[in-house]
Structure 1
Amino acid sequence: MIPAVRRLLRQPSAVRFAVLLLLVAACGVLLLVVPRPDPSDLPRLAGRLGPYAPVAAVLGGALLLVALVPRTFVTLASGAIFGPLEGAGYALGAALIAAAIGFTVGRLLGREFVAERVRGRLARLDGWFARQSVFGVITVRLLPIAGFGLVSYGYGTTGARILPFLAGSVIAAAPTAFGYAALGAAVTSPGDVNWYAAAPSALGLIASVVLIRRWWRAERQRRAAATVAS
């Protein structure tokens, strides 16, 4: 496997970018044709794994996210297996690993191709990604533009830095992780669910409104400054 990866990384940037597009397309096709398991059946599977169940949940959840499975399903399943609090924690661990994998794959396969071809407004957009802080990543993550895995691949093709990207990805995923994990736990143990655990899910909507408003104000100030300078 490793020699094949090394040969791939030595290929021209256009070939690597084509491989990235094929990889994303293949994940999308599999997502459509492979049936998803019933979350209520998952606790029995976790019981067979015993003490290895948390590790399997984190690593398996990360692979599912990389394969473009929606984070909502992964978090619901984690909550159904482990309960609202532990399930949310394991789902966030999976999100962190998946974000790192997706970013790295996008960086290795697509960054050089994109950097060689961005011009004009696209170049300014790429520069914006390169200057992004954790706050900027949170803003993009909370916008309903694409799934978790696809955004991770896309970020890797930009000039973004990996540490702010990972931190922003986890922070943005945290509010809804507790809510979806609580809903997942309701599938298997409705009497044991602490519904206050679902409250953080509302923070996602509130945070989105606040972030969009702050971005819009910053954009207006930038345009006003550009107008004065010209």
Structure 2
Amino acid sequence: MIPAVRRLLRQPSAVRFALLLLLLVTFGAVLLIVDLPEAHQLPRLADRMGALAPVAAILGGALLLVALVPRTFITLASGAIFGALEGAAYALGAALLAAALGFAVGRLLGREFVAERVRGRLARLDGWFARQSVLGVITVRLLPIAGFGLVSYGYGTTGARVVPFLAGSVIASAPTAFGYAAVGAAVTSPGDMNWFGAAPAALGLVASVVLIRRWWRAERQRRLGPS
């Protein structure tokens, strides 16, 4: 078994893929041992940055997302610092940047390895990702299968196209961005909480059901073929 592993690691694509796995394991381990700050502590951090706070929120949020920090925490924190609407906008900016970074890293480190080895059903699955539209990306993003960052890395290893992936990622993130940002804002300013802030999250739930149903019907029709 050891000689086989050595032969595998001599291949550049295998080395890059091993590096990707090591990166994900490291992020996961750090996330387990590092305590995230409380939401009510965050506005003081933003005050120290002054005018650079929005830029820091987007860049910092993106880096945290690619480090596998849950998007819920990022969005709640953004809402607590900047308020519901601004917080949601900055959280979406961070999500877009994080999706691009995760996709790029997955494509650079993992795509060649995966493309060389997919066979049978996995090859058909890879082809499905390659043909995926924005709607397909939205559907996958809304499914509770993995965290935001992990899905971005995974998409990069497939044949998915970057533009539909980024567009679908942002659209799928929008409803919960407004909902969680409103909740985050309520932590630091309880009087500002209102039902309008939570409305996008409710609409997102309805949209999730509709999109998943459409995806399921399209997949069923494809399997059955033309009648």
TM-score over 0.5 for the alignment?
yes
Q: Tell me how far apart the structure 2 counterparts of residues 79 and 34 of structure 1 sit (CA, whole Å).
A: 22
- Residue 204 of structure 1: how far off its partner (Å): 2.2
Moved over 6 A (4+): none
Q: Match of 2:169, as an amino acid?
A: S
Partner of 1:36: 36
Q: Contact between 1:142 and 1:204, CA under 8 Å: does it hold in 2?
A: no
1:159 is matched by which residue type in structure 2?
G
Alignment correspondent of 1:21: 21
Give the aligned partner of residue 221 of structure 1.
Answer: 221
Q: Is the 8 A contact 1:186 1:193 kept in 2?
A: yes
Q: Does the 8 Å CA contact 1:58/1:90 hold for their aligned counterparts?
A: yes
Q: 1:50-74: per-residue Cα shift (whole Å, max 9, x none)?
A: 0000000000000000000000000
Q: How far does residue 32 in structure 1 lie from its aligned partner after superposition?
A: 0.6
Please say if 1:114 is aligned against 2:95: no
Could you tell me how far 1:31 is from its partner in structure 2? 0.8
Query: What is aligned with 1:133?
Result: 133
Equivalenced residues, count: 218
Matched, 1:103 2:103: yes
Letter paired with 2:64: L
Q: Deviations over 1:29-82 (max 9, x none)?
A: 111100010110100110010000000000000000000000000000000000
TM-score, structure 2 as length reference: 0.93
- Whole-Å separation in 2 of the counterparts to 1:156 and 1:73: 24
In structure 1, C-alpha distance between the alignment counterparts of 2:43 and 2:34, rounded to whole Å? 20
Task: Find the aligned partners of 1:224 and 1:169 in 2 and give their Cα distance.
Answer: 29
In 1: Cα distance, 2:55 partner to 2:216 partner: 41
Q: What code does the residue aligned with 1:53 have?
A: A
Matches within 5 A, 1:45-194: 45-194=45-194
Please tell me the residue identity of whatever aligns with 2:160. Answer: A
- Give % identity: 82
Distance 2:220 2:193 in 1: 45
For residues 62 and 194 of structure 2, the distance between their equivalents in structure 1, rounded to whole angstroms, comes to 26
AA of the residue aligned to 2:112: E
- State TM-score, norm by structure 1: 0.92
Distance 1:194 1:219 in 2: 39
Paired residue for 2:6?
none
Are the counterparts in 2 of residues 43 and 80 from structure 1 also a CA contact under 8 Å?
yes
Q: Which amino acid aligns with 1:94?
A: A
Whole-Å separation in 1 of the counterparts to 2:20 and 2:106: 7
Q: 1-side partners of 2:57 and 2:219: how far apart?
A: 41
Shift of residue 215, structure 1, vs aligned partner? 1.5
Q: Cα offset for 1:169?
A: 0.2
* Cα distance in 2 between the residues matched to 1:192 and 1:212: 33
Judge which range, 208-217 or 169-178, deviates more: 208-217
Aligned amino acid, residue 34 of structure 1: V
AA aligned to 1:35 is D
Shift of residue 142 of structure 1?
0.3
The AA in structure 1 aligned to 2:120 is G
Q: Distance in 2 between matches of 1:219 and 1:154?
A: 21
